[in-house]
Amino acid sequence: MSFRTVYGYKYSENGWRMCNRDECVVANVLPYTNTAPVRSGDAATILNAWLLWYHGNVEPISSPVWGWSATNDVANSNHLSGTALDINAPKYPWGARVMPADRIAKVRKGLAAFEGTIFWGADWQRADEMHYQLGFAEGDRRISAFAEKLNNGHLGIYGTAEPSEEGALMALSHAEQVELLTKTRELHHFLVTAEPSMVDGTPFAAATLIRTADYHAFNAHSLAKRIAKKLGVIE
């Protein structure tokens, strides 16, 4: 894992160290998100949670998401530190205010729920409605505290949360709901944790990674089949 100086800057606009691609992870949590590397650790926990919340509560993600970038037209861009996301970019051209009022209200609701850890580019003088970034600098305790809350089930995105009172989830027993949310958390943890090959460099790292990935994939597939059968989606 490594850091860099870009265009003379060691830190991006929001106070995070400029990094190379190997400091980032890709948590392919939704369609179109495998194009968006983000800074590993607490940053990934929050940014990937924002993607999930946005997709489920604002509008579906319908085009490739942009995350970390090697270069940028803005010298201290937060994309250079892997701490920014551009969502549904074709819908929201830079400098334009085109998002409808009802959708803006949904985004504002999410920003409040994320307790300031996400900043929206629409709040700049020159609007950037596609753009979302970490709202506090690297090392700010509010980042680690909110990431921990998310991992412990806050907002029901990761971890074990109270069962939802709406939707197909209620067709499952309480134990099944808890199992589903727990497996989601385990898979998320695997996706946002640095690969072994980046840490120990041993010849066993790749095999370890593959075995771990197979384990999570098998569990996810088995659980999904059981749920689909219970909901009557498959026989």
Q: What CATH number has the domain bearing residue 105?
A: 3.30.1380
Q: What is the pLDDT of residue 199?
A: 42
- Residue with more model confidence, 149 or 211: 149
pTM above 0.75, yes or no: no
Q: Residues 83, 135: one domain?
A: yes
Residue 52 sits in which domain range? 1-139
Q: Residues 38, 131: one domain?
A: yes
Strand-by-strand arrangement of the 118-120 sheet? 84-86, 131-134, 118-120
Q: What H or E segment, with its residue span, contains residue 224?
A: helix 205-231
Amino acid making up residue 68: W
Q: Which of 83, 104, 139 is the last residue of a domain?
A: 139
**Domain for residue 223, yes or no?**
yes
Q: Which of 73, 105, 139 is the last residue of a domain?
A: 139
Question: Closest Cα partner for 59 from 8, 106, 12, 18?
Answer: 106
What mean pLDDT do residues 12-36 have? 92
Amino acid making up residue 77: S
Q: Residues 116, 168: one domain?
A: no
**Domain for residue 89, yes or no?**
yes
Q: What is the pLDDT of residue 179?
A: 67
Q: Residues 101, 175: one domain?
A: no
Q: What is the pLDDT of residue 169?
A: 53
Q: How confident is the model at residue 47 (pLDDT cuts 50, 70, 90)?
A: very high
Q: How confident is the model at residue 223 (pLDDT cuts 50, 70, 90)?
A: low
DSSP state of 120: E
Q: Residues 71, 170: one domain?
A: no
Q: Residues 164, 121: one domain?
A: no
Structural domain tally of the chain?
Answer: 2
**Domain for residue 147, yes or no?**
no
Q: What is the pLDDT of residue 148?
A: 96
Lowest average pLDDT, out of 12-26, 114-128, 195-209, goes to: 195-209
**Domain for residue 146, yes or no?**
no
**Distance, CA of 191 to CA of 12 (rounded, Å):** 24
- Residue with more model confidence, 189 or 57: 57
Backbone phi and psi for residue 136, each to the nearest 5 degrees, phi listed first: -125, 155
Q: What is the pLDDT of residue 198?
A: 42
**Domain for residue 79, yes or no?**
yes
pLDDT of residue 120 exceeding 90, the answer is yes
Q: How confident is the model at residue 190 (pLDDT cuts 50, 70, 90)?
A: low
- Output the CA–CA distances (angstroms, integers) from residue 90 to 32, 36, 95, 123, in the order listed: 13, 16, 13, 19
Q: Residues 122, 178: one domain?
A: no
Q: Residues 49, 120: one domain?
A: yes
Q: What is the pLDDT of residue 41?
A: 96
Question: Closest Cα partner for 82 from 122, 24, 123?
Answer: 24
DSSP state of 86: E
Q: Residues 102, 4: one domain?
A: yes
Residues 6 or more apart in contact with residue 104 via CB below 8 angstroms: 122
**Domain for residue 149, yes or no?**
no
